[in-house]
A and B are shown apart, each in its own frame.
Chain A
Amino acid sequence: MILVFVDHDRGVIEDISLQGITFARSLDATVEAVVVGGEANAALLGEYGVTKIHHATHASLVDYTPQAAGRALAEVVKRTSPSALISGGTPRGNEVLAHAGAMLDLPVVADCSEIDLGTSTVKRMRWGGNLIEHAKVHTSMMIASIFPHQIAALPAPASAEVASFEPELTAQDTLVKIIDRTGEAAGGVTLAEAKVIVSGGRGVGEDFTLIETLAGLLGGAVGCSRVVTAAGWRPHAEQVGQTGTKVAPDLYIACGISGATQHIAGCKNSKTLIAINTDGDAPIMSYADYAIVGDLHQILPAIIAATQAAKG
């Protein structure tokens, strides 16, 4: 049996978590899930092939509580002795696996693209997906997160039984938890969920009006490279890349971005990538489906005008 940690935000389960479940099914026919707090979400998890949900409920588990989630996970591991513990490679997934790994004193292998339980070997991502490591894991039980967007989440309908339990938590386990949330997007499109991202780099300069205008017309979000946030031109929340947000929109328009590994790690899963750059040999060009070589300050106004005309 493979145990999957399914993270959720107030009950909402991200696609990356479903990717983790889909991956787990390739390792073993039986997949069970651990859900901490919120709802068990039996209908959705059953649709993705989970046959049993270990649902941790506790008076202290009101909102996301990382260490308590790790404790609940470690408890289920001890009780059920799975052949592996898997999670989708979300920030919460990686965090909770690390807590569980520390509690169980077992290695945790992050961002895996392949796992072979027979030989205890993995392929995992380094440098945000720009380099693959083949590793042998010396462990009594594999704990691994799955690199986002490595595989598509696919349903495999099953019926999921829910087993609720109250984990034994220490005071320290519930000390660190979400106590508030701020900055709700006012109808704006978030970078991680946007279908369209218009992104600017050093070549744009300080004035992002053209980028914002095209993003607005396409109902998309504004992104940028690390150079731009380091210069203080745009807020860090808009940074796409290895140390910013990793995105996978339907359309990514990279304007004045050369394509350093730092940036490519964040945008290479875009379904369609359009590059606009003065340098036809820039690395971003090898990731582009469509490219325009030229000055974005002349090209973007033409694209904006044509898009406005098309919208009528």
Chain B
Amino acid sequence: MEVLVCIKRVILAGNTFVLNDDHTDIDTRHLGYTLSPHEESAVEAAVRLNEEFGGTTTLLTLGHVDSEEQIRSQMAIGPDRAILLETDGSEWDPQATANAIIEAIKKEETKFDVIIFGSESADTAGYQTGIRVAHALSLPIVTNVKGLKVENGVARCERAVGTMREIYEVPLPAVLTVRDGIAIPRYPSVPGRIKARKKPMDVFPVEKPAAKIEKVKLELPPVKAKGATMLSADADGAHKLVEIFREIGVLS
């Protein structure tokens, strides 16, 4: 089974963001990078498909050449090769991103049985790149997948709604967008990391088209410093909490 996983390098967000002077971007001078959580799970799900059915996993990313760091670290758990669509690192909107991915897939000799995306990126979260790619390639798509089982060329997909699960079935080839939790990513082994350094990666420079959704500036939402009322860590504090439970109507 040939699997393509589309991944995106995002900043490693901690507890707060710091903006640059003109508020056009996050100040990344002191920040590291990682993958969106949904996509870490996507790579693990892809590797499990290869373990069950054979075949290879290809990673694809659109971004700065330094995205190689995220590609290599994901290759350490199994993916065989990668395609890096190299940009200057500035942001691409969802349509531009989807179009570049569509072109790259069309140029591929490999016919992918499954193309996996995260359901949305951790940073810009447009919820649409996978759907646009599916339409352009005339492939069916199931989004927000949290459970996956492939049998006889059909993917049985579970999607979580509250504590319930909706079941969808889709014949392959298909596009899937998956959510964190579909497969808990394994830790890379040392031999895995060493092998990852030598796996093939094709780099194709891409030209950024004019943005349809043009970022003007960024703003930090006001944190309404609520000024928490402190309660004591003893029976007295516990009784005060019970009074609060009553006040807000969660205890009769």
Contact surface of A with B, Cβ cutoff 8 Å: 9, 64, 66-67, 91, 94-95, 97-99, 101-103, 107-111, 121, 123, 125-139, 145, 172, 175-185, 188, 190-193, 195-196, 218-220, 226, 229-230, 232, 236-237, 239, 242-244, 250-251, 258-262, 271-275, 283, 285-295, 298-299, 302-303, 305-307, 309-311
Known: A176-B141, A176-B168, A303-B238. A311 touches B127 (CB 8 A): no
Assembled-state Cα–Cα distance A242/B134 (Å): 25
28 examples of A-B residue contacts, CB within 8 angstroms: A64-B166, A66-B141, A94-B127, A95-B127, A107-B94, A107-B95, A111-B125, A121-B216, A127-B13, A133-B124, A133-B216, A133-B219, A138-B210, A138-B213, A178-B166, A178-B168, A182-B164, A190-B162, A218-B245, A236-B146, A236-B180, A260-B14, A283-B15, A286-B223, A292-B230, A302-B237, A302-B238, A306-B242
Q: Which residue of chain A has its CB nearest to the CB of B161? A: A9
Contacts of A237 in B (CB 8 A): 160, 163, 181
CB-based contact A261/B250 at 8 Å: no
Min C-beta distance of B48 to chain A, whole Å: 16
* Closest B residue to A138 using CB positions: B212
Contact between B127 and A172, CB atoms less than 8 A apart: no
Q: Is the CB of A134 within 8 A of B216?
A: yes
A307 near B218 with CB under 8 A, answer no
Partner of B250, one of A125, A195, A262, A298: A195
Across the interface, which residues of A come within 8 angstroms of B26, CB to CB?
131
Pick the residue among A101, A136, A274, A288 that contacts B241 (CB under 8 A).
A274
- Rounded to whole angstroms, the CA-CA distance of A109 and B216 in the bound complex is 14
Asked whether B244 lies within 8 Å of A299 as measured between CB atoms, the reply is no
- On whether the beta carbons of A306 and B238 are closer than 8 Å, the reply is yes
Which residue of B37, B170, B218 is within 8 Å of A243 (Cβ)? B37
* Interchain CB contact under 8 A, B231 and A291: yes
Tell me the nearest residue of chain B to A306, going by C-beta. Answer: B238
Task: Give the CA-CA distance A133 to B124 in the complex, in Å.
Answer: 9
Kindly provide the distance from the CB of A264 to the nearest chain B CB, expressed in whole angstroms. Answer: 8
User: Chain A contacts of B215 at CB under 8 A?
Assistant: 133-135
| Pairwise interchain contact A272-B244, C-beta atoms closer than 8 A | yes
A270 to B132 CA separation, bound complex (whole angstroms): 34
Chain A residues near B235 (CB, 8 Å)? 302, 305-306
Partner of B219, one of A67, A132, A138: A132
Collect the chain B residues with CB atoms within 8 Å of residue A110's CB: 120, 125-128
For the complex, give the distance between the alpha carbons of A129 and B122 in Å. 11
Q: When chains A and B are docked, how far (Å) is the Cα of A274 from the Cα of B229?
A: 9
- Complex-state Cα separation, A133 to B93, whole angstroms: 13
Tell me whether B140 is interfacial, beta carbon within 8 Å. yes
- Determine the residue in chain A with the shortest Cβ distance to B177: A95
Residue pair A91, B180 in contact (C-beta under 8 Å): no
Our pick among B36, B212, B217 for the contact of A139 (Cβ within 8 Å) is B212
Give the residues from 197 to 252 in chain B that come closer than 8 angstroms, CB to CB, to chain A. 210-221, 223, 225-226, 228-235, 237-239, 241-242, 244-246, 248-251
Partner of A283, one of B16, B237, B239: B16
Q: Which parts of B65-80 form the interface with A (CB within 8 Å)?
A: none
Is B184 part of the binding interface, using a Cβ–Cβ cutoff of 8 Å?
yes
A87 shortest CB reach to chain B, Å: 11
A183-B143 in contact (CB<8A): no
CB proximity of A69 to chain B, nearest CB, Å: 12
Cα-based distance from A139 to B211 in the complex (angstroms): 10
Interface check B31, CB cutoff 8 A? no
CB pair B242–A310 under 8 Å, yes or no, is: yes
Residue of B whose beta carbon sits closest to that of A230:
B184
Q: Decide if B219 touches A232 in the complex (CB within 8 Å).
A: no
CA distance in complex: A262, B34 (Å) = 14
Question: Would you give the shortest CB distance from B85 to chain A, in whole angstroms?
Answer: 20
Is the CB of B194 closer than 8 A to any CB of chain A?
A: no
* Chain B contacts for A192, CB-based, 8 A: 162
**CB pair B166 A101 closer than 8 Å:** no
Residues of A within 8 A of B245 (CB): 218, 251, 307, 310
Q: Ordered nearest first, which 8 A-B pairs have the shortest CB separation?
A: A294-B233, A236-B181, A190-B162, A98-B128, A243-B180, A302-B238, A180-B167, A288-B228
Within 8 A of A (CB), among B128-148: 128, 131-132, 134-136, 138, 140-144, 146
A110 to B94: give the CA distance in the assembly, Å: 11
Q: Chain A contacts of B228 at CB under 8 A?
A: 275, 285-286, 288-291
* CA distance in complex: A196, B235 (Å): 22
Contacts of B146 in A (CB 8 A): 236
Bound together, the chains give a CA A309 to CA B245 distance in angstroms of 13
B179 proximal to A (CB < 8 A):
yes
B17 at the A interface (CB under 8 A): yes
Q: Which residue of A lies closest to B216 (CB)?
A: A134
Query: Inside 8 A of B163's CB, which chain A residues have their CB?
Result: 183, 185, 188, 190-191, 237
Whether the pair B168, A179 counts as a contact (CB closer than 8 A) is: yes
Interface assignment of B169: CB less than 8 Å from any CB of chain A: yes
Indicate whether B123 reaches chain A with its CB closer than 8 angstroms.
Answer: yes
Q: Which residues of B contact A271 (CB under 8 A)?
A: 248
Chain B hits for A285, CB < 8 A: 228
Query: Given known contacts A132-B218, A190-B163, is B237 in contact with A292 (CB within 8 Å)?
Result: yes
